[in-house]
């Protein structure tokens, strides 16, 4: 199975500042990598797919990069509504796997 | 508008069975792979099972293989997850999720989830 790890586990960022979340896969996932945002009591919401393609309607302050085993989600200028848990997800091979999540809060 | 309506969750005793349903609308259901993803209380996401558009091919996580069965009825736009031999470790919110297209594509839509609680 492809094991996904994320760092940091949590981070607190000031409003308007940059937040960076890293995701690493135990073997190459090519660019078969998505990022989801989850707020309390809600299902996950797709942000990024194919490692760097932004889903329609997602603000352009969210961006993804990377390929192979190392990926990054960047929120360029944090807004209050971005407080959530963020998960990376590889869909390169079955069983599909997710990272453990990164909690983003306001400093 | 794509909609996925999960249902069928509830309280079940250890060793019991439950069938989850997901009613899909707003897209040509038979054209898309569908999956179930679960989330234990306060924990992360775990992919459980997937099924091809025709229903001919099914995929399972090792944690549920042999106990859970995924199926679909394309005439009714319905996805199912039959769960047997449930344990406390199966307690979770279960989400149905639509793939963008084939198996190796991301989940572009999610249901609201249905809570399964396994407890005596």
pLDDT at B117: 98
B40-83 pLDDT per residue, tens: 999 999 999 999 999 999 999 999 999 999 999 999 999 999 99
Q: Find residues 35-54 of chain A whose CB sits inside 8 Å of chain B.
A: 36, 43-46, 49-50
B107 CB near a chain A CB, below 8 Å?
yes
- Please indicate whether, in this complex, the C-beta atoms of A92 and B104 are within 8 angstroms of each other: yes
Three-state SS at A65:
strand
pLDDT at B45: 98
Closest C-alpha among A103, A102, A85 to residue A22: A102
Q: Which residue has the tokens 């407080």?
A: A83
Do strands A33-38 and A84-90 pair parallel, antiparallel, or not at all (unpaired)? antiparallel
Residue pair B86/B18 in contact by the 8 Å Cβ criterion: yes
Q: DSSP string of B86-108? A: --GGG-EEEEEEEESSSTTS-EE
B26-48 pLDDT per residue, tens: 999 999 999 999 999 999 999 99
Q: How far apart (Å, rounded) are the C-alpha atoms in residues B73 and A30?
A: 33
- Counting residues of chain B whose pLDDT is more than 70, the rounded percentage is 100
A11-49 pLDDT per residue, tens: 999 999 999 999 999 999 999 999 999 999 999 999 999
Q: Find residues 62-91 of chain B whose CB sits inside 8 Å of chain A.
A: 62
């Amino acid at each position: 199975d492809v094991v996904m790890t994320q760092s940091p586990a949590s981070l607190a960022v000031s409003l308007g500042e940059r937040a960076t979340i890293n995701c690493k896969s135990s073997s190459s996932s090519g660019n078969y990598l998505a990022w989801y945002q989850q707020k309390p009591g809600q299902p996950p919401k797709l942000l990024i797919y194919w490692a760097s393609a932004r889903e329609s309607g997602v603000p352009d302050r969210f961006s993804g990069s990377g390929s192979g085993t190392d990926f990054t989600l960047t929120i360029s200028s944090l807004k209050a509504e971005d407080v959530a848990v963020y998960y990376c997800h590889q869909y390169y091979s079955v069983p599909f796997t997710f990272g453990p999540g990164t909690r983003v809060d306001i400093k | 508008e794509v909609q996925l309506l999960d249902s069928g969750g509830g309280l079940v005793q250890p060793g019991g069975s439950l069938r989850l349903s997901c009613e899909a609308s707003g897209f040509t259901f038979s054209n898309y792979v569908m999956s179930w993803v679960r989330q234990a209380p306060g924990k992360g996401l775990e992919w459980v099972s997937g099924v091809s558009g025709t229903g001919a091919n099914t995929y399972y996580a090792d944690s549920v293989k042999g106990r859970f069965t995924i199926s679909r009825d394309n005439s009714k736009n319905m996805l199912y997850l039959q769960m047997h031999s449930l344990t406390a470790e199966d307690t979770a919110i279960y989400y149905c999720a639509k793939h963008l297209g084939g198996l190796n594509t991301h989940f572009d839509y999610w249901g609201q989830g249905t809570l399964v609680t396994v407890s005596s």
